[in-house]
């Protein structure tokens, strides 16, 4: 039940992290991974994977032969240090593994916490920020849509991009769970009922569970469903050779569609499925949509996680940034 009730992406990321810990521990510590892990081992893991200054050069402590072996074992994509966010995720997974077994948790040790705190400060001083996917605001989104022709794949991708963006910036897992059964036709277009999401994992009925798919998004969905002959099951499906409609898309397929369309459109930057979500929120801020209404559509539970994108959009239309663009106005003299 714990596995079934967990998000697929979360389970995959946890599995990947533990596999890496096991491989690193075997190669670096020369023995199999066993819980609880020693504090010194966790500190060595941090030193192996984050960059620190040695003279004028940035280095990390992972031996080259161990690094190469990890890449060869396909538990690491490329040699070199990890991003700080990846190291923190690996530590969070190890911490959870200890907590669920009620074992002494080395990740909560004062020495580990102190090193992580100073590491974050060091990275911040170097100007290193957490990498975010570029946001697909309205202008770049239009360029993606322009690459979608009238073929079955083109109709599907246009409908998918508009559905995900215009319904509030849907997560890719939410896009692939959209079906004919939870997407109801109404006079204005469609209402997609989001019964389960990252912020509503218990499926509690909420007033904001219904997401509008209207205007261009509804027309694009109409065209795709009619051309594909879909009347039940997943909305977005594979298109096989010869125009054969296959099974529902995976979350990974959504990411690949966004990246492929971005490449076709000639967009410079790093785009993925999350770009639709961040793009919607940024554009909402740019066009002055209230934060509360934006969050109701996007299903963000925390203001802290959405405010950055929303304010980024607002900043572009700030009057304060254009104070020198207009004619200066003479100050009104105070009346005697």
Tally Cβ neighbours within 10 Å of residue 123.
18
266: nearest Cα among 160, 162, 140, 159:
140
Where in the sequence is the domain holding 278, given as residue range(s)?
Answer: 138-317
Assigned domain for 331 exists: no
Looking at the structure, do residues 30 and 176 belong to the same domain, yes or no?
A: no
- CATH code at position 50: 1.10.150.130
Lowest mean pLDDT across 97-106, 174-183, 186-195, 295-304? 295-304
Contacts 24+ apart (CB under 8 A), 36-39: 36/98, 36/103, 36/104, 36/105, 36/106, 37/94, 37/98, 37/106, 38/106, 39/106, 39/109, 39/111, 39/112
pLDDT tens readout for residues 158-191: 999 999 999 999 999 899 999 999 999 999 999 9
Domain ends where: 58, 90, 125?
125
pLDDT of residue 196: 61
Assigned domain for 97 exists: yes
pLDDT tens readout for residues 76-85: 999 999 999 9
| Count of domains observed in the chain | 2
pLDDT beyond 90 at 26:
yes
Assigned domain for 132 exists: no
Looking at the structure, do residues 107 and 250 belong to the same domain, yes or no?
A: no
pLDDT of residue 317: 64
Mean pLDDT on 232-255:
94
Looking at the structure, do residues 164 and 49 belong to the same domain, yes or no?
A: no
pLDDT tens readout for residues 250-262: 999 999 999 999 9
Q: Where are the alpha helices (DSSP H) in 29-59?
A: 39-49
Looking at the structure, do residues 170 and 106 belong to the same domain, yes or no?
A: no
pTM above 0.85, yes or no: no
Looking at the structure, do residues 154 and 300 belong to the same domain, yes or no?
A: yes
* C-alpha to C-alpha distance for 72 and 234, rounded to whole angstroms: 38
Looking at the structure, do residues 170 and 312 belong to the same domain, yes or no?
A: yes
Percent of the chain with pLDDT over 70: 83
Assigned domain for 133 exists: no
The per-residue pLDDT of the chain, averaged, comes to 87
Looking at the structure, do residues 259 and 150 belong to the same domain, yes or no?
A: yes
Assigned domain for 297 exists: yes
Looking at the structure, do residues 194 and 284 belong to the same domain, yes or no?
A: yes
Looking at the structure, do residues 266 and 178 belong to the same domain, yes or no?
A: yes
Assigned domain for 264 exists: yes
Domain ends where: 125, 151, 181?
125
Q: Which band of pLDDT confidence, cut at 50, 70 and 90, is reported for residue 292?
A: confident
Looking at the structure, do residues 163 and 110 belong to the same domain, yes or no?
A: no
- DSSP E strands in the chain: the ranges are 52-54, 57-59, 183-186, 189-193, 210-214, 237-240, 244-248
Q: Which band of pLDDT confidence, cut at 50, 70 and 90, is reported for residue 131?
A: low
């Amino acid at each position: 039940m714990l596995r079934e009730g967990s998000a697929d992406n979360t389970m995959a990321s946890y599995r990947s992290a533990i596999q890496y810990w096991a491989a690193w521990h075997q190669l670096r510590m020369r023995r199999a991974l066993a819980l609880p892990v020693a504090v010194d081992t966790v500190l060595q893991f941090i030193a192996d994977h984050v960059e620190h200054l040695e003279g004028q050069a940035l280095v990390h402590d992972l031996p080259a032969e161990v690094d190469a072996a990890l890449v060869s074992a396909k538990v690491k994509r490329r040699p070199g240090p990890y991003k700080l966010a990846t190291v923190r995720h690996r530590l969070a997974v190890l911490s959870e593994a200890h907590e669920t077994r009620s074992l002494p948790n080395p990740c909560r040790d004062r020495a580990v916490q102190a090193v992580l705190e100073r590491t974050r400060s060091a990275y911040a001083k170097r100007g290193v920020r957490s990498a975010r996917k570029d946001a697909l605001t309205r202008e770049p989104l239009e360029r993606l849509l322009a690459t979608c022709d009238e073929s079955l794949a083109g109709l599907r991708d246009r409908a998918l991009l508009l559905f995900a963006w215009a319904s509030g910036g849907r997560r890719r897992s939410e896009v692939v769970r959209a079906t004919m059964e939870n997407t109801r036709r109404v006079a204005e277009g469609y209402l997609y009922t989001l019964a389960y999401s990252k912020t509503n994992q218990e499926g509690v009925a909420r007033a904001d569970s219904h997401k509008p798919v209207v205007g261009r998004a509804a027309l694009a969905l109409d065209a795709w469903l009619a051309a594909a002959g879909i009347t039940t099951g997943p909305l977005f499906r594979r298109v096989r050779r010869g125009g054969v409609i296959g099974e529902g898309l995976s979350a990974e397929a959504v990411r690949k569609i966004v990246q492929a369309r971005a490449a076709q459109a000639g967009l410079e930057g790093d785009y993925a499925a999350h770009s639709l979500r961040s793009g919607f929120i940024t554009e909402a801020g740019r066009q002055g949509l209230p934060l509360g209404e934006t969050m109701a559509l996007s299903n963000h539970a925390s203001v802290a996680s959405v405010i950055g994108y929303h304010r980024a959009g607002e900043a572009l239309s700030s009057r304060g940034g254009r104070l020198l663009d207009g004619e200066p106005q003479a100050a009104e003299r105070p009346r005697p």
